Amino acid sequence: MAAPQNPLQSTGLDSRLRDAGLFIRQAIRTFRATGAVAPSSRALGHALARYIDQREDPDAQLSIMEAGAGTGAVSRVIAQHMRKGDTIDLVESNPEFAGRLADLLASDPELNPIADSATVHQMLVTDLGPDRRYDVIVSGLPFANFTAEEVREILEYYFSVLRPGGHVSLFGYLYTKQVKAVVAPREDYLRQARSSWVVEEWVNRYGIGTERVLANLPPAWIHHLRKPAED
């Protein structure tokens, strides 16, 4: 006889399946802003949450931002790494995704525990304003789909609201530039190349580690950056 199914597990699975369907529909409609064909994997989420775990002060309460939170695939994993007193801003410009995130905070068994510590912002990340401070920023924005000027503006904003000693973890997909060099129009390839040069500039200046996550669709790379501590 089959073992009885945990109702919380069933609810969480049903929720993730609905989110995957919503994500794919929105990806088809707004690929430039979505930038992916499937929600991020848990393996990618755990890697992105590295500096929520690795706190210089074990008792510190962190202020976290997730930029490009989508339907909450990485948010669910971040929630597992958060501790009492941590807060998180979930920033998502797509109104369908942002509305879904707000619903999930009230109903999803993995996100509901952080509902009182989380705020959903339906806006572009650079519209959050300068009067915020974060210890950790997890970026899911599709830089490969943005112009170099947009990427630079976003990275400058991240570092303007990041506290000294704070971390930014951002990701992209492996081999997309090489594929576009073969199949994409020249202008599209050049736009992505220019955007990647901006990311490389910031990684060269602030990068503290890079890793690959193969258990994702598509496989991904992550860059971890750290803002220098004040003297």
Give the pLDDT mean for 126-150: 95
26 belongs to a structural domain: no
9 belongs to a structural domain: no
Q: What's the confidence (pLDDT) of residue 16?
A: 53
Q: For residue 131, what is the domain's CATH number?
A: 3.40.50.150
Give the pLDDT mean for 182-194: 75
Better-scored residue on pLDDT, 172 or 7: 172
129 belongs to a structural domain: yes
Better-scored residue on pLDDT, 163 or 181: 163
65 belongs to a structural domain: yes
The C-alpha atoms of residue 44 and residue 219 are separated, in whole angstroms, by 9
220 belongs to a structural domain: yes
Structure confidence by residue, pLDDT tens digits, 31-67: 444 344 468 899 999 999 999 999 988 899 999 999 9
CA torsion 152→225→52→43, rounded to 10°? 90
Confidence of residue 144 (pLDDT cuts 50, 70, 90): confident
Structure confidence by residue, pLDDT tens digits, 114-136: 999 999 999 999 999 999 999 99
Per-residue pLDDT at 86 exceeds 70: yes
Give the pLDDT mean for 156-175: 93
**What is the extent of the structural domain holding 193?**
42-226
Structure confidence by residue, pLDDT tens digits, 195-208: 999 999 999 999 99
Domain count of the fold of the chain: 1
The C-alpha atoms of residue 205 and residue 129 are separated, in whole angstroms, by 24
The C-alpha atoms of residue 146 and residue 125 are separated, in whole angstroms, by 14
